[in-house]
Amino acid sequence: MKVSAIIVAFAGTLLLAAASVSAQGVTDAQIASIVLTANQVDIDAGKLATSRSTSDEVKAFARLMVTDHIGVNRAATDLAGKLDVTPQDNPTSQSLQADGDKNLAHLKTLTGAAFDRAYIDREVAYHQQVIDALDKTLIPGATNEELKALLVKVRPAFVAHLEHAKRLQASASRS
C-alpha cells in the first residue's frame, strides 16, 4: 500500500509539473533539461536495482534501463551541443530530480522481493508518465526540428521499456 501511494504521488507530481510547463510554454533549453533529468533519474534507479535486486530478470531490466537511458542522454547532450542549447533548469526538471531522490531513498529501505516490486512498480508508473509528458508537452513544445525528431525517435524505446516493466510486474504478481 505504501509503495502504491509513493508511485501515485510521483505520477501526480510529474503530471502537474508537465501541465505547469505546458501552460506556461516550454523552451528547447527547458526540454533539454527535462529530458536529461528524466533519464538520469532512471539511470540512478537502475544502478541501484542492479546492485540490490534479488531477481535476475529485474537486474537484467535495470541494466537495460541504465544502458538505454545513458544512450538517450548522450544523444541529447550531443544534440544540445550541436544546437548550442544549454539545458535550463526549470520547475519540471527540479521536480523530477526531487522525486527521483525520494524514490531512491525509499528503495534503499527495501530488500528482496519488496525492493523488486517497488522498483518495477515505479518503472511502470514512471515510463507511462514520461510517455504522457512526451506526447502532451515535450514533443509539441519543441521548436527545433532536430530536438523534436530526437524526442520522436526515442519515444518507442520508452514504450518498449513500459511494456517490459509491465511484463515483469505481471510476472511478480503471479509468484
Digit-coded pLDDT (tens) for 29-54: 999 999 999 999 999 999 999 999 99
pLDDT of residue 7: 36
Under-50 pLDDT residues of the chain = 1-23
Quote the pLDDT of residue 25: 83
8 exposed, middle or buried (CB, 10 Å; 0-12, 13-18, 19+)?
exposed
In the block, residue with C-alpha cell 535495470 = 62
Q: What is the pLDDT of residue 117?
A: 96
Q: Which domain holds residue 60?
A: 2-174
Counted domains in the chain: 1
pLDDT at 17: 45
CATH code of residue 13: 1.20.1260.10
Q: Which residues contact 139 (CB under 8 A, 6 or more apart)?
A: 148, 151, 152, 155
The pLDDT value recorded for residue 24 is 57
Long-range contacts, stretch 139-146, CB < 8 angstroms, 24+ apart? 141/21, 141/22, 141/25, 141/26, 141/31, 142/28, 142/31, 143/27, 143/28, 144/28, 144/83, 144/85, 146/79, 146/82, 146/83
Residue 131: exposed, middle, or buried by beta-carbon count in 10 A (0-12, 13-18, 19+)? middle
pLDDT of residue 23: 39
